[in-house]
Structure 1
Amino acid sequence: MNNHTNDDQLELIQASHRELEEALETLKNLKPDEREDFTKRWPSTLQSLCELMRVTLDRQAVSNSVHISEALATTLSTYLGGRDIYIPNGERLKDALRDIRIWREFKGNNLEQLSRNYDLTERRVSQIIAEQRAAFVARKQRRLF
């Protein structure tokens, strides 16, 4: 990441910090009926984002998921609200996680099995193994220095 973008982001955070803290404090102290009325007035995209975060937090057994998801949605709204941003569809992330699973399951003699399990060619599984091996070696070498 270049320094210009990093500096812009820090400036954005610092400029909105006090305003965000006040908003989060108010949100934290809302009565249940006030909270329900308040979140119902959010734009539908923000409501959906909040619900996605709540469900994810629930699946991770995080207590107080409703309040945390509302605080996260408020924070994102404060810093990114009104901006035209692109959120990737997640395919690259899913592929990266699949590749890690393949690497972990690789035993040296199960290329054919992995290709069947993941519906990939043996050649592609071999490429993934090579990429994951290189990443593994790079991580090991960083720890040495």
Structure 2
Amino acid sequence: MGAYSDRAAEILEMVTSIIDQEAAKGTKGLGKRVADIVADQFGGQQVYFPFDRKRRDARIYADFRGDNIHALATCYRLSTKQIYEILDKERAKRRQKQSVLPGVSLGGQQ
């Protein structure tokens, strides 16, 4: 889920539970039923839904096809420069360090 405060995690769990319970009743009118319940539960309060950049960045990396930088920038409302930076960061996270094979020396050292 990400690193959320206890209250944020509690709110997200409540919303998840509401959707799961309502989905079990069928999908017809699901959006309206969920909206009504959420309004009943949180009406009159300021509720902050946390944003998980790590999850967004991983989705951008997964959606990247090599020729869709502009489409990603539009979809995620970011600049192309930001998309390139996110892709570079995600590539670096996924890059495996190459291990040295037994009996092989690097740079003439043993």
TM-score, scaled relative to structure 2: 0.46
Q: Which structure exhibits the higher relative contact order, with contacts defined as CA atoms closer than 8 Å and separated by 6 or more residues?
A: 2
TM-score, scaled relative to structure 1: 0.36
Q: Which has the higher helix share?
A: 1
